[in-house]
Every structure is written in structure tokens, then in C-alpha cells.
Amino acid sequence: MGGDRGEGGKFIMDSITEGFRRAFSLIFTLDIELLKIIFLSLKVSGTALLIATATGLSLGAFVGLKRFPLRGIIISLMNTFMGLPPVVVGLFLYLILSRSGPFGFMGLLYTPSAMVIAQSILAFPIVASLSHSAIVNVDPIIKQASMTLGATPFQVTLNIMREARYGIMSGIIAALGRVMAEVGAILIVGGNIAGYTRVMTTTIALETDKGNFELAIALGIILLLLSLTINMTLHLVQRRGMVKINI
Amino acid sequence: MSLRLTAINICKSYNGKPVLKDCSVSFDSAGIYILMGPNGSGKSTFLRICALLENPDEGKINYFSDIPIIPPLSRGELKRGVFSENNILKRDIELKRRITLLLPRVGVFNTTVFKNAAYGLKIRGMGHDEIEKKVNTVLEFVGLSHKKNHNALTLSSGETQRLGIARAMVIEPEALFLDEPTASVDQENTEIIENIILNMKGKNGSTVIIATHDISQAERLAGRVLIMQDGKIVETSF
């Protein structure tokens, strides 16, 4: 038994070592399939982030700057939806976009557009909630100071958002981190079709299932590097936002 | 070039507690006015209302100018005073851009000293070269040229106050309101700021209204004096 387990462990280690060797080979030879997958991932996540930033930042700013009925409920919803389970988003989107669903006529299911919608839904509350927090934390004196200098309401809003810029950027970067690593929703609505809707995370899941570790490991390394880059950027943004006060 | 203003029967309450009671005064020529009174007498509220940052519950503020207020106030606005709107932000921006108030806490923006000082000009759509020239001059005037590329949040409280004055001065307001401009600074900076105010008086003929509770400061600035007590203007020297 012990010997079997030892041999099994050795087999897995060999597979992983071989996987790493071939993964680096794929990366350094700029394998075309690998590049296509990376490009689609960046395209889907980038587009989703743009949509989520435009909508989420607008909502975050509106809720942060205006007082209106149901504002508290909207804030609670934004915070709750930050933790939306991706598979649940995928399931609901699948039901809406499937042939018998209300938007089935648009034929979006199993297309990159459906993946963009799914990732936008996941990123939107993160951008909205973190932008809202950043904006409400701006000292109220900034609004008054801008007004005393003759700023129009729109200029006052822009100035408050400029003061909240580091917090807003943190929210956008956090949302990017989430969508880049997401697999559940896009697997359901994208279908993981080779050369069409297959992205890094769904490829890793599929290739691991098939026991083809090299492509999975290559993509895993790239995903980790991207994640590291995103987090380092986030760290730098947050550090820039902290001004050393020497009064 | 100055704006003159008249406050007519200004009343203001916060949470049912009256802060200003029927205050009327006319600032009808350029120069320095000192609004004196103990803490809590209503000086800050009165300045905020004169500077169009807040609405009174009753009464009105009328502005007059040799240069017409553009666009001119409507007949309705003239009749009701400029405080016809419920929301300060909707009020005539052209008039608001000819006055400014320096708050007791300056509220500097998280950017360089230069960009802070340039803000008022930038939002007025002034060209880059002109902004640079004006801001450099005003920073020199308040003694902050050497710090123009520093982040404004790193300044000392005295320097912050001087930046606040520079930010207000650069837009060349015709009416300038200063709310306790030296309350949070040391003796050295108090003298610097008072000198800036006195020199400013000579530079352009604007109306400068300063709220202070410091009698010796009122004497040094040698302006016309109004005394406030318990929300009322109890004495004027003009």
C-alpha cells in the first residue's frame, strides 16, 4: 500500500515537473494557442472592467454625493453584491440568455459577449461599493472649499472624485483581480469553446480534468504573474495615496 | 473694483436655536472690515451667509457693483434678494465667482501647492501660461514659492493658512471674507498673515471682511469694526 502511494506520488511529481518544463517551453516559444487564450482573457476581462467602471463609478458617485430615499438600501445592496457567488451569476445569466429565456432571441449564450456580461455583473458592485466608500470618506471641507472658490456643482463633484481617486483606483484594480481569476460564471455562459470562448481560467479547469498539466501550468503561471502585477499596482496606488504629513 | 453688499434683516437658526437675529449692515465702500465678537456670537454663520455659502432663514443679501453682475439678476431675484433659491449650488455662479470665503480650516486638496493655488483659475477656464504667471506671483507674495511642488497636505498649519489666502487671492475676488484667518497658527505666522492682508489692501480695492475674536488683531489691521454679540450686530464704527 505504502509503496503504491509512493509510486503514485512520484508519478504526480514527475507530471508536475514535466508540466512546468513544457509550460515554460510554451511560454518562451510564444505558442499561438496560448497567446490566443491570453488575448481573449484580457479582452473579455478588460471590456467587462470598462463597463463595470463606467456604470459602477457613476452609481458610487451618485450614492456618495446625493441624499435621496432608499439610499441606505442601495448601499446595503452594493455591499452585499460584492460577494456574489460567480456560479449563481452564471446560472441566472444562463436562464436569461438561453433559447427559452427572455433574452434568448439575442443569441448571446456561449459567446464572448455573454462572458463580458457575466464579468461586468461581478465587477460592477465592487467598483460601485469601493468608489462609494472612497467618495464618502473625502473630507466635507473639500466640497465647501471648492464652492468658495467658485466651482460649479459639476466641478465640485469632479474635485471630490479627484480627492477620492486612490480609493476609486483601488476599487477598479480589485474588480480586475476578481474578474481575471473568475471561472464559475464564464464557464456556464461561455461554454469553454476552443478558439472562441476559452479563456485562461476555463482552460486550466478543463486541461486539469483531462490530465494535460502543461498548458494548465503555463496558464497558471501567467495568471499568477498577472495577479501579482495587479496586486503590486494596487499596493503602489494605495502607497501613493498615503501622504506623509510632517506637521 | 469692488463689490458692495448689504445684509438686510438676516435671521438664521440651527435646530431651533437662533444663531443670527435680525442682522442688518451695509458694507458700502471698499476696504477692510473687522467683524469682532466672542466665540459663538454668530460671526462665522454671518460670513457664510454673506459669502453665499448658506441661506438665511429670513432676510436677504444684496450685492451692488460698478461693473454689472453678469448675467444680471432677474427682477424676481432682485425683489427677493439673491437668496431666492433653496440650493446654494443653483445660485448665480457669475456673482459667486466674484467673491470668496477663506474657511477657518482651509481644506487643501491632495495635490501640489501650485495646483491648489491654481484651482480657482483653472475652473474659470484660464490658459496655462496665465495661470502659471499669476500663481507664481501669488505664491511669492505669501512666501510659498519654494514649496510649490510639495504636496499641500505636508505643509505646516501656518503654511496651509497662507496657501488658503493665496488660493483666495489669486482669483482676485472683489469681496473677500476671512473667517478667523489666524486662529490655528503661531505668532510668527500670524504676523506674516496680517502683513499679507495689509499689503493686499493696497494691491486692489476689494472689500475684505475679517471675522476675529482677537481685539489686538483688530487694532493691528485697522479696519472699520462691527461688533457681534449673541447673534446680533450691536455696534458699528462706520
pLDDT of res. B70: 54
pLDDT at B86: 37
Q: Tell me, what's the pLDDT at A12?
A: 73
Determine the average pLDDT of the residues in A135-144.
Answer: 95
Q: Does B127 touch chain A (CB under 8 A)?
A: no
- B3-21: average pLDDT: 92
Q: Residues near B36 by Cβ (< 8 Å), separated by ≥ 6?
A: B43, B212, B213, B215, B218, B225, B226, B227, B228
E strand or H helix at A108, and its extent? none
Q: Which of residues 110-139 of A touch B (CB under 8 A)?
A: 139
The stretches of chain A forming alpha helices (DSSP H) are 2-28, 32-65, 71-81, 86-97, 112-136, 140-148, 153-163, 165-181, 184-190, 200-210, 213-241
Contact call for residues B163 and B142 (beta carbons, < 8 A): yes
What pLDDT digit, counting tens, does each position of B16-41 carry?
Answer: 999 999 999 999 888 899 999 998 99
Within a domain: A4: no
Q: Give the mean pLDDT of B54-62.
A: 90
B110 contact residues in A (CB cutoff 8 A): 163, 241, 243
Question: In 3D, which of B164, B114, B105 has the Cα closest to residue B136?
Answer: B114
Q: Note the pLDDT tens digit of each residue in A70-123.
A: 999 999 999 999 999 999 999 999 999 999 999 999 999 999 999 999 999 999
Residue B228, helix vs strand vs coil: strand
Mean pLDDT of A169-178: 92
How many C-beta atoms lie closer than 10 Å to residue B62's C-beta? 15
Question: What was the pLDDT predicted at B76?
Answer: 61
| Chain B positions in Cβ-Cβ contact with residue A152 (cut-off 8 Å) | 89, 93, 123
User: How many domains is chain A built from?
Assistant: 1
Which letter does DSSP use for residue B40 in this model?
T
Over residues A135-158, the mean pLDDT reads 94
Here the ipTM equals 0.86
Query: pLDDT tier at A245 (50, 70, 90 boundaries)?
Result: very low
Domains of chain B: 3-236 (3.40.50.300)
pLDDT over 60 at B82, yes or no: no
Tell whether A119 is covered by a domain: yes
Q: Write down the pLDDT at residue A25.
A: 86
Residue A43 lies in a domain: yes
Residue A3 belongs to some domain of the structure: no
Closest by CA position to A58, among listed A176, A170, A174, A168: A168
pLDDT band of A238, cuts 50, 70, 90: confident
What is the predicted pLDDT for the residue at B179?
95
- Residue A196 belongs to a domain with what CATH number? 1.10.3720.10
Q: Which residues are CB-neighbours of B180 under 8 A, at least 6 positions away?
A: B43, B44, B104, B211, B212, B213
Note whether A129 and A170 are within 8 A (CB). Answer: no
Return the DSSP state at B68. P
Please indicate whether, in this complex, the C-beta atoms of B151 and A243 are within 8 angstroms of each other: yes
pLDDT in tens, A127-138: 999 999 999 999
Q: Which residues of B touch A144 (CB under 8 A)?
A: 53, 103, 107
Mean pLDDT taken over chain B: 86
pLDDT tens track for A227-237: 898 889 888 88
CA B9 to chain centre: 21
A211 is a domain residue = yes
**How many beta-carbon pairs below 8 A join chains A and B?**
68
What phi, psi does A189 have (nearest 5°)? -90, -20
Grid cell digits, residue A159: 474635485
Evaluate if residue B205 carries a pLDDT over 80.
no
Q: Does A18 touch chain B (CB under 8 A)?
A: no
Shortest distance, CA B183 to any CA of chain A (angstroms)? 16
Residue B98: pLDDT above 90?
no
Contacts of B167 in chain A (CB under 8 A): 149
The CB-side HSE value for A131 (13 A sphere, CA atoms) comes to: 27
Residue A246: inside a domain: no
Find the domain containing A100 and state its range: 10-240
Tens of pLDDT, residue by residue over A4-28, are 556 767 777 777 787 788 778 888 8
Q: Indicate whether A199 belongs to any domain.
A: yes
| Angle at the Cα of A80 from the Cα atoms of A177 and A116, rounded to 5 degrees | 45
Test the A interface: residue of B49, B54, B89, B102 with most A CBs within 10 Å: B89
| A89 part of a folded domain | yes
Q: Find the Cα–Cα–Cα–Cα dihedral A130, A133, A136, A138, rounded to 10°.
A: -80
Owner of C-alpha cell 486662529: B183
Q: How many other C-beta atoms lie within 10 A of the C-beta of residue B135?
A: 25
Cα A202 from Cα A193, distance rounded (Å): 10
